[in-house]
Structure 1
């Protein structure tokens, strides 16, 4: 299935807008469920010793960051491709990448706390924050496109700090995680504003990928904050 012409959501009818939003957030929900499913399989099949060996080295993390960046670029490109099959391939690839990146973090969280309670708490906080930020965009009708430059700059700064931490072996600490929660929240505001004004009515798979990526970034750092308190 291909689409050549698509109406911008900002100029679509109310029915078209409602359909686009329904499909977008349905795909976000399906991506989250797929992430949970893939993560459950990985946790129950990959030995914890293997996970520890694979993700313990600082230079391995640099390689993983590089692969994550390349995979994210490819996923995003596919998610906005002309055919629906390519779009779903991009979303599925990104879900798999996120599951692999999160694997050591979730295993550590369960190992140190002895349960999945902290993960559940982080998930609930993340979903409430996502819902609240989404409501801010839709009910205030504020254009958050002005956040783009700040998000790009903060993203490069964060990447530089992460790479430096991996190279020189220092912890980024609680305040870095708090800062990244703010960045992730800004990203959700920006992406939600974008899907209202800049996306076409047939680009709901790509829109869902962008929102899913911001939700997972928020979840990562909310979980880090909760783990630092244990």
Structure 2
């Protein structure tokens, strides 16, 4: 499988795996610095959105009214556009716009889940616990890839298929609720899927991104971290509801 088109660079920079050590190290530092920045912006926006009735209340009403598929469809469209800007644009400004757009979209879609756990259940510590578990898991998976140098690009087909199946299950569950038993099993499966994405995206940072694609690489990593964070919150909600 060739990645020359998927990770094409308009500036002609080398792939990180082929670059000089200093250039590769600089690319990796910029990628993870941008990831950290996206996480900080996401957290700040999420806090603001959860405390802004004009943003929060319509999202809660859509969820409680069974119309969450509208938000989900909008999120998918915005995510595609943001990813296109980050990966395909020749303009660095447009690439940053893609990363920012995706960060805002993630903050918006997280509002009902975080608001429910924080304010309605009265468990703000659950958000902190989920964040800690996500970062620890992400750190462990990242360290494994960097230490082993393994290339997990072979996971691409499986992840794409699993993602399509998961999206189908989410859409079906919106119209036909399946109960907490299915929800818990699905949450655990999605945590496994998010771990697979982290392995895949991290190995791509080492092997399949060019050294001028730090914005695109950070967006891919952020998407995987956000996916794991979402289902980590869900898992803690399920576990604490059974205490």
TM over 0.5: yes
The residue that corresponds to 1:10 in the other structure is: 17
TM-score between the two structures when normalised by the length of structure 2: 0.90
Residue 222 in structure 1 maps to residue 232 in structure 2: yes
Alpha-carbon offset, residue 222 of structure 1: 0.7
CA–CA distance in structure 1, aligned partners of residues 221 and 211 of structure 2: 16
Give the alignment's Cα RMSD to 1 decimal: 1.5
Residue 211 in structure 1 maps to residue 221 in structure 2: yes
- Count of aligned pairs between the two proteins: 228
The residue that corresponds to 1:66 in the other structure is: 73
Runs ≥4 residues deviating over 6 A: none
Residue 193 in structure 1 maps to residue 203 in structure 2: yes
TM-score between the two structures when normalised by the length of structure 1: 0.95
Deviations 1:83-104 (A, max 9, x none): 1100110000000100010000
| Residue ranges of structure 1 left out of the alignment (5+ in a row) | none
The residue that corresponds to 2:189 in the other structure is: 179
Which runs of structure 2 are paired with 1:27-38 in the superposition (5 Å)?
27-38=34-45
CA–CA distance in structure 2, aligned partners of residues 8 and 51 of structure 1: 41
Q: Measured at CA, do residues 112 and 147 of structure 1 come closer, stay the same or move farther in structure 2, by a change above 3 Å?
A: same
Which runs of structure 2 are paired with 1:1-230 in the superposition (5 Å)?
4-46=11-53, 49-58=57-66, 60-80=67-87, 81-171=89-179, 172-230=182-240
Which SS does the other structure have where 1:130 is aligned? Answer: helix
The answer to whether the Cα contact below 8 Å between 2:62 and 2:68 also exists between their aligned partners in 1 is: no
| Residue ranges of structure 2 left out of the alignment (5+ in a row) | 1-8
The answer to whether the Cα contact below 8 Å between 1:3 and 1:83 also exists between their aligned partners in 2 is: no
Alpha-carbon offset, residue 3 of structure 1: 5.6
